[in-house]
Amino acid sequence: MKIENCTIDDIDEIYRLYRIASAYQKSKKGVVVWPEFERKLVEDSIAENRQWKLIIDNNIACVWTITFSDEQIWEEKNGDAAIYIHRIATNPDYRGQNFVAIIVEWSKEYARESNKDYIRLDTLGNNVKLIEHYKKAGFDFLGLFDLKNTKGLPDHYGKAPACLFEIKLN
């Protein structure tokens, strides 16, 4: 197992995993579904070395992206030194291996090397199972928040309150 930056050659697989994740979300009642993300969003993440992949046996098992600012979601807390994790999508051939825990451990090291004090992520709606999953992975659940300004964010952000999670590093 290894973690490395995605390349533009990975973009079709990234989108395949996003579509699978969206289909899975659609199958769950009351869960906010990811839209088709704009290609430029993903291309920029790749070009800026913020799109990551977990590789097992030369296959992409999981992808995610990070940012260093997330002002519309985190508002006044955005001034904290943090990395923000987004768009975790797992290859269904590798489900059930708790990649969130692996991403958390990787994020802790990455954040420390980048002089960050927090690891943060969000999800939308009151998805109780996902909230519990993130809590078990070490995140503190900060609650549900109505976002004040979703202009420019992917479409699904206007559909439900945001659940905010963070890990404070020592």
CATH number of the domain encompassing residue 91: 3.40.630.30
The answer to whether 134 and 97 are in contact (CB under 8 A) is no
Give pLDDT tens digits for 22-61.
Answer: 998 988 877 888 989 999 999 999 999 999 999 999 999 9
Q: Which residue range(s) make up the domain with 138?
A: 2-168
Task: Taking the CA atoms of 163, 47, 137 and 82 in sequence, report the sign of the dihedral they define.
Answer: negative
E strand or H helix at 27: none
Residue 29's pLDDT is what?
A: 75
Looking at the structure of the chain, the number of domains it has is 1
Q: Has residue 154 got a pLDDT over 90?
A: no
The span from the CA of 103 to the CA of 51, in Å, is: 12
- The string of DSSP letters for 128-156 reads HHHHHHHHHTTPEEEEEE--S--TTS-GG
